[in-house]
Structure 1
Amino acid sequence: MSELFYSDARLYDRLFPGGEQAVDFYRAEADRQGGSVLELGCGTGDKLIPIASDGHPCLGLELSPHMLAEAQRKADERGVAVDWVQGDMRELDLGRTFDLVLIAAKSLLHLHEADDLVDCFRSVRRHLAPGGRLAFDVFNPSMRMLAEADGVRRRRDALSFVDPDRGVVHVDVAETYDAAAQVTLGKWYFSTDSKADFAVAPLEIRSIFPQELPLLLSLGGLRVVERFGDWSRAPLTADAPLQLHICESD
């Protein structure tokens, strides 16, 4: 995982605010499935805290202690009870099962090797209660965007945000794509008008193509029961932005 990128949890939340459609999608899945919910790579709890507030017993697993501490703070602030555990989604042994497992916010893409993805899916299968399901989202890779990853640093105006202490924060990104590894190697630069590059963080994200996922899931003992291309549950097409999967034990 790109640890430095997640070392400032509040900065991360300001960089990626909102996400209401994703929250609504996963809340609906939790309500449809019923029972307990486990989220792997739970970040600062933006998906899991609303689900817990709906009355579902929830556990969030996160590798970054910084993100986990912020999740705990936010849950306490809202008066919502969630169990938070620091751990690796590839090596999971929680001693209990869950009715729904979530891997949201493209967290699977931090696993770059096929073996790591299969290990994660096997961990999920071991933690599914009878009739339990896995729900997750990843990007649908855009060949145009991957081809344009030329290593040039560019300003991402759409990602600019206001920090209460720093003012307006500008974001520049430089990316290259390693086609053999299927990994985009990025470097993110955060600046204000008075201080250039106050934070610089690498971010390495794998691409998982639609034909790969069913095979990787099958090797992990899971099968796809539903697949969508966006949060509205539209079909997965070539130009869909996302791959959303609902899976069961094989």
Structure 2
Amino acid sequence: MNDSQAASPPAPSTDDTYRFDDLRALFINCTLKPSPQQSHTQGLIDKSRAIMDGQGVATEVIRAVDHDLAPGVYPDMTQHGFTTDAWPELYEQVLAADILVVAGPIWLGDNSSVTKQVIERLYSCSGLLNSRGQYAYYGRVGGCLITGNEDGVKHCAMNILYSLQHLGYAIPPQADAGWIGPAGPGPSYLDAGSGGPENDFTNRNTAFMAWNLMHMAAMLKRAGGFPAHGNQRSEWDAGCRLDAANPDYR
């Protein structure tokens, strides 16, 4: 299955209260393997994506390693010595999504180098503002999926979720899920006999993550975004301290 194909979705809810046809979700797969190589991370993405598809969310997957992303922490690294940089185009896809899920493998107990690069490039645009003077990622929600055959799911999730909230994403409850199998070298998620796709703990957390992302994204979107009071960089820069007066350091 390639990144443009989702797993067969479960039967969608018949309650229109839980239809999310106005939402878009973007999964960024931070595997080290270029397409069309099999990605175990993609297998877990497909489970989460199928739940969202079943409720009307428009979903998309990007395999980051397939794109020529320059390293760096500026929005367009071609302005800083690199000849090519695919990030400005991918950033437009990020902004078009109400839900962002960063997904990747564990290596040496930590996030992959590609995951770290994606976080850096998200960070590169964190100073940009929306039309209300807030940071550009406000009004969106974030989550993460982790796969591997060694310990480190919670460590990797903490790093990603902290990074996303620091950049402006809202993080709902249970916003992460992962699978590692037995600690130590062993089968990966999609390997025959791994038990990964059937694992009840992983499937439960993946389902809760998908639903909580949809719930929070819908609440934010239908409320017109995150309230623009006390968090507008444009107002702060203009001298408005919003009840947080500058201390007198005399």
Q: Which has the higher helix share?
A: 2
TM-score (norm: length of structure 2)? 0.34
Q: TM-score, normalised by structure 1?
A: 0.34
